[in-house]
Amino acid sequence: MSRELIIEEMKERVFQANLELPRLGLVKLTWGNVSEINRELGVIVIKPSGVSYDAMKVSQMVVTDLEGNLLEKKSLKPSSDLATHVVLYREFTDVQAVVHTHSTNAVMWAQAGYDLKAYGTTHADTFYGSVPCTRTLTKEEVLDNYEENTGKVIVETFNERNIKPLEIPGVLVSGHGPFTWGNTPSKAVENSLILDEVCLMAKETEKINQRVVDIPKFLLDKHYLRKHGKSAYYGQ
């Protein structure tokens, strides 16, 4: 398959995944973006900045190199979060697609500044333990290369806590919101939806029982590993 055709197929996948965000209730206005990487070709495809989902076209998806430099003439500006995606792709080398939203429940949790604990099996089916909340960025980090530093604080959080990105395919950026990832744009969007739902479930669970504790490790293992890894048996 030619380079041009591969990039066109990437644009289509990224376009369709971006359209899923408002359809699933994960974004309002233009508050979200999806990207995909092809490391062999050295390209990233991402949503254009500030373009309405109703008006957006496949041809408007923005193509950059792995440093975020534009590769197509007459291209629209890429999402303002591109630099965050670039850092995540550089450091999380098994990740193929990244999603950022301001979905209501995940943003609530990020604004509260707490990790999202694994309270039940719905969480455990996708996230192999707590979804971390990063530290708050410093003033200097916000004023200088903010989006890049957002990516760096995500990576810092995973490295310091020895978390594997494919086992916990999402994060809450303190005071900001969620990022999720996956092996395809559609899977990364699915993880964004699941993260928002389990944020809501956890919030309401804590209202019912303020002393709720994490799911037992044996049950966490059972639900995560039956869907992931070499011994998985869930699905067809």
pLDDT in tens, the chain (236 residues): 899 899 999 999 999 999 999 999 999 998 999 999 999 999 999 999 989 899 899 999 999 999 999 998 888 999 999 999 999 999 999 999 999 999 999 999 999 999 999 999 999 999 999 999 999 999 999 999 999 999 999 999 999 999 999 999 999 999 999 999 999 999 999 999 999 999 999 999 999 998 998 999 999 988 988 888 777 777 77
130's tokens: 């707590």
Q: List the domain boundaries for the chain.
A: 3-228
The rounded radius of gyration (Å) of the Cα atoms in the chain is: 18
Catalytic residue ranges: 125, 234
- What's the predicted TM-score (pTM) here? 0.94
From CA 49, how far away is CA 47, in angstroms rounded?
6
Strand partners, 178: 172
Q: Spell out the residues 6+ positions from residue 211 whose beta carbon is closer than 8 angstroms to its own.
A: none
Q: Which residue, among 84, 73, 1, 72, has the nearest Cα to 35 in the 3D structure?
A: 84
Buried b (16+ CB within 10 A) or exposed e, 55-93: ebeeeebbbbeeebeeeeeeebebbebbbbbbbbbebbe
CATH no. of 3-228: 3.40.225.10
Q: Where are the alpha helices (DSSP H) in the chain?
A: 3-23, 82-91, 104-112, 121-124, 139-143, 146-160, 185-208, 217-225
Q: How far apart are CA 17 and CA 53, in angstroms?
A: 11
